[in-house]
Amino acid sequence: MHTLTTGPWTPVALSADLPVGTVIPARIPAGSIALWRSESGRLSASADRCPHRGMSLSHGFVRGENLSCIYHGWSYARSGKCVRIPAHPGLEPPEAIRAKTFAVEEAGGVIWVATDEAATTPPVLEGLMPLRSMTTSAGIAAIEAAAGAKATAEGLVVPAENADTLCLLLSARDDGQTLIHVLLKGETTADSRIAASRVAESLRRAAEDLQKKGIAA
């Protein structure tokens, strides 16, 4: 079992994949979260469950500075406090109605979420430019074997054959899947970025092959 030490922080998504006014699903060790960016650009992470009837909030929608549940339109502020219950327009929602929230930080194009109250800040990834995120059924050992390189404590793997151009930021999830953020090094062009995306696809394929054969188990 690999333990990556990014402290309480999990790299959950790339900034570019969460435009203003949208919500996406993500996972941290504490469970599923709804990750959203308000119209003014402020990031938030809340438990992916509306306290009303348990509906997944990542299926909801962002209007202004609030996240709304798709089921009954209950809206939540960044603090997690319920601010609107459309069935009762005149009602000020009680303080007790809250979605649990988590600390979020964005650095270098990567969005990090902390499980606990974070006293630290997420790791800084110097000189790396995010390309894309992908999910794999392969574990970290299989990915390391496919890449021919070991992961650092922060979960960074530099594939042996592409050491000058590519770096993978790995995050093991509780469902056995691994989230891979593909990062680029140095100067890039549109063509080299496309080439790097294809290399990452091949690495994933190789890692899943190894995982299936149990070689990296």
Select the span of 48-56, 102-110, 141-149, 156-164 touching another protein (CB under 8 A).
48-56
What would the two tokens of residue 104 be? 């979020």
What would the two tokens of residue 12 be? 């959950």
Which of 70, 107, 118, 206 forms a contact with another protein (CB under 8 A)? 70
Which of 1, 3, 40, 91 forms a contact with another protein (CB under 8 A)? 91
Buried b / exposed e over 116-155, threshold 16 CB at 10 Å, is: eebeeebbebeebebbbbbebebbbbbbbbbbebebeebb
Which of 7, 30, 43, 52 forms a contact with another protein (CB under 8 A)? 52
Buried b / exposed e over 70-84, threshold 16 CB at 10 Å, is: eeeebbbbbebbbbb
Shortest Å, Cβ 167 to another protein: 17
Cα angle 24-13-203, degrees, rounded to a multiple of 5: 120
Q: Which is nearer to another protein, 120 or 186 (CB)?
A: 186
How many other CB atoms are found less than 10 A from the CB of residue 176? 10
Q: Which is nearer to another protein, 105 or 208 (CB)?
A: 208
Select the span of 57-65, 102-110, 114-122, 141-149 touching another protein (CB under 8 A).
57-65
Which residues sit at the interface with another protein, rule CB under 8 A? 13-14, 17, 19, 21-22, 24-25, 32, 48-49, 51-56, 59, 61-64, 68, 70-73, 85-91, 96-97, 132-135, 177, 190, 193-194, 197-198, 201
